[in-house]
């Protein structure tokens, strides 16, 4: 599979995640405005991929020859919860005094680092999973999408599945459909099918029942921001999964690159939670599914307290409560 996000020499290219699995489409983004639009409509998403997008946004800003810092700030604010976006912007922007070519080199370095970093984080997480579950074919539960599409390449939490599959240690994966945009059903299921990994899609509300029936050996999730105390912001529904996993004695493992850790954020209470368009809940496939005038609560993320987590794993090591 090609990189989720890349640089052609003149434009940012992304796999358009809004049309999968029906269509595999690659878009070219040549302006900051086009990149910001793609980020906000989730054509490119996933914390590590957004880190690369942030850096490449600064590259586009330097080529436009306008107010680079203002345009970079615009990119960084496109989605507030995922810290990787502002991290990528800051890292590229720090090279601005050295000129546009230095900015580009830094952005390309982020792209090149991504697969290695996520491969190592998921390798370490694989050992954590086997430590808790034993070396046998496992039944795993995935929420949202933390695979190749959420990164530049390889994946974070779903990277653990790739490691286990290579060892013949995956029986199947239960894929939460992940409301409101079905990123599990549309994206994770597509990646698993492409890799030949057995899977079943389930409604988000079925996860706790699946654990109660003994159908889940381990829960694997990614993260969009990890506070200094280990609290984890991730796709909405993750908190409920962690509560159910704790109740049923199922290991709950978070896998992310270290760029997702926000050491300036003491705990999860201060993490800004993005609110999505009410239309994502009020309609489905273009058809209204709620009464006219219905009010909506549509947070994109929630925060899981660290005490509910078995381990947070980055490429730098394992953190346990």
**CATH number, domain containing residue 59:** 1.20.120.420
Same domain, 74 and 153: no
47 assigned to a ligand binding site: yes
User: Is residue 120 situated within a structural domain?
Assistant: no
Q: Is the peptide bond before 215 cis (omega within 30 degrees of 0)?
A: no
What gap in Å lies between CA 110 and CA 104, rounded to an integer?
10
222 is in an annotated binding site: no
pLDDT of residue 272: 95
Annotated binding residue 288: no
Domain shared by 205 and 261, yes or no: yes
Torsion angles phi and psi, residue 77, rounded to 5: -90, 0
- Looking at the structure, tell me whether residues 152 and 297 fall in a common domain: yes
On whether 145 is known to bind a ligand per the annotation, the reply is no
| Exposed e or buried b per residue across 115-136, where buried means at least 16 C-beta atoms within 10 angstroms of its C-beta | bebbbbbbbbbbebbbeebeee
Domain co-membership, 85 together with 183? no
125: in domain: no
- Across the 321 residues of the chain, what is the mean pLDDT of every consecutive 10-residue run? 93 97 97 97 96 98 94 95 95 97 98 96 98 97 98 97 98 96 97 98 98 98 97 98 98 97 96 94 92 96 98 97 85
Q: Which two tokens stand for residue 52?
A: 């690369």
pTM of the predicted model as reported, rounded to 2 decimal places: 0.95
Q: Which helix (H) or strand (E) holds 191?
A: helix 189-195
183 annotated as belonging to a binding site for a ligand: yes
Shared-domain flag, residues 169 and 97: no
Asked if residue 162 and residue 61 are part of one domain, the reply reads no
At 43, list the tokens: 């054509």
Q: Is 3 known as a binding-site position?
A: no
User: Of 14, 19, 23, 25, whose CA–CA distance to 50 is shortest?
Assistant: 14
Q: Is there a single domain that holds both residue 155 and residue 276? A: yes
In-domain check, residue 35: yes
Based on the domain organization, do 203 and 93 belong to the same domain? no
Helices (H), 11-93: 32-40, 47-64, 68-76, 83-93
Do 145 and 18 meet the contact criterion of CB atoms below 8 Å apart?
no
What DSSP string runs through 132-152? HH-SS-EEEEE-S--SGGGSS
Q: Is residue 129 part of a domain?
A: no
Last residue within a domain, chosen from 82, 114, 146: 114
Q: Of the listed 224, 231, 262, 302, which one is catalytic?
A: 224
Q: Is residue 140 part of a domain?
A: yes
Q: Provide the domain limits for residue 60.
A: 5-114
Do residue 169 and residue 211 come from a single domain?
Answer: yes
Which residues touch 103 (CB under 8 Å, ≥6 apart)? 58, 59, 62, 92, 93, 95, 96
CATH code assigned at 279: 3.40.50.10470
Residue 161 lies in a domain: yes
Cβ atoms of 176 and 142 closer than 8 Å: yes
Task: Answer with the one of 81, 114, 147 that is the final residue of a domain.
Answer: 114
- Please give the Cα distance from 251 to 220 (Å, whole number): 9
> What is the token pair recorded at 219?
């829960």
Report which of 217, 253, 234 is spatially closest to residue 138, judged by C-alpha positions.
Answer: 217
Of 49, 81, 114, the residue that ends a domain is 114
Give me the number of domains the chain comprises.
2
Residues 146, 285, single domain; the answer is yes
Is 230 contained in some domain?
A: yes
Asked, for residue 128, whether it belongs to a domain, the answer is: no
Active site residue 176: no
Whose CA is closest to 116, among 228, 233, 258, 261?
A: 258
Residues 314, 195, single domain; the answer is yes
- pLDDT given for residue 318 in this prediction: 97
Closest CA to 262 of 90, 126, 39, 8: 90
Please indicate, yes or no, whether residues 264 and 302 belong to a single structural domain of this protein.
yes
Nearest of 270, 183, 180 to residue 225 by alpha carbon = 270
SS3 252: strand
Any binding-site annotation on 179?
no
């Amino acid at each position: 599979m090609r990189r989720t996000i890349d640089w052609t020499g003149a434009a940012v290219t992304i796999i358009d995640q809004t049309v999968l699995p029906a269509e595999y489409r690659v878009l070219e983004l040549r302006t900051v405005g086009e990149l910001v639009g793609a980020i906000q409509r989730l054509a490119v998403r996933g914390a590590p991929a957004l880190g690369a997008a942030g850096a490449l946004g600064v590259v586009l800003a330097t080529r436009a020859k306008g107010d680079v810092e203002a345009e970079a700030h615009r990119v960084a604010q496109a989605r507030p919860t995922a810290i990787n976006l502002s991290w990528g912007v800051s890292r590229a922007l720090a090279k601005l005094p050295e000129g546009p070519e230095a900015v580009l080199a830094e952005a390309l370095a982020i792209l090149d680092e991504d697969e290695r970093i996520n491969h190592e984080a998921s390798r370490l997480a694989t050992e954590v999973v086997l430590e808790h579950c034993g070396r046998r074919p496992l039944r795993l539960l995935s929420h949202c999408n933390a695979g190749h599409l959420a990164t530049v390449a390889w994946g974070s939490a779903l990277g653990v599945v790739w490691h286990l599959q290579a060892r013949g240690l995956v029986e199947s994966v239960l894929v939460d459909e992940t409301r409101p945009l079905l990123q599990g059903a549309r994206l994770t299921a597509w990646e698993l099918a492409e890799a030949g990994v057995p899977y079943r899609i389930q409604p988000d509300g079925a996860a706790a029942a699946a654990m109660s029936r003994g159908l889940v050996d381990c829960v694997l999730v990614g993260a969009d921001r990890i506070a200094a105390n280990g609290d984890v912001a991730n796709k909405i529904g993750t908190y409920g999964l962690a509560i159910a996993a704790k109740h049923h004695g199922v290991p709950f493992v978070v896998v992310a690159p270290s760029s997702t850790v926000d050491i300036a954020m003491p705990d999860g209470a201060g993490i800004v939670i993005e609110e999505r368009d009410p239309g994502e809940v009020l309609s489905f496939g273009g058809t209204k599914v709620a009464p006219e005038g219905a009010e909506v609560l549509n947070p994109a993320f929630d925060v899981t307290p660290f005490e509910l987590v078995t381990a947070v794993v980055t490429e730098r090591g394992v953190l346990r409560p």
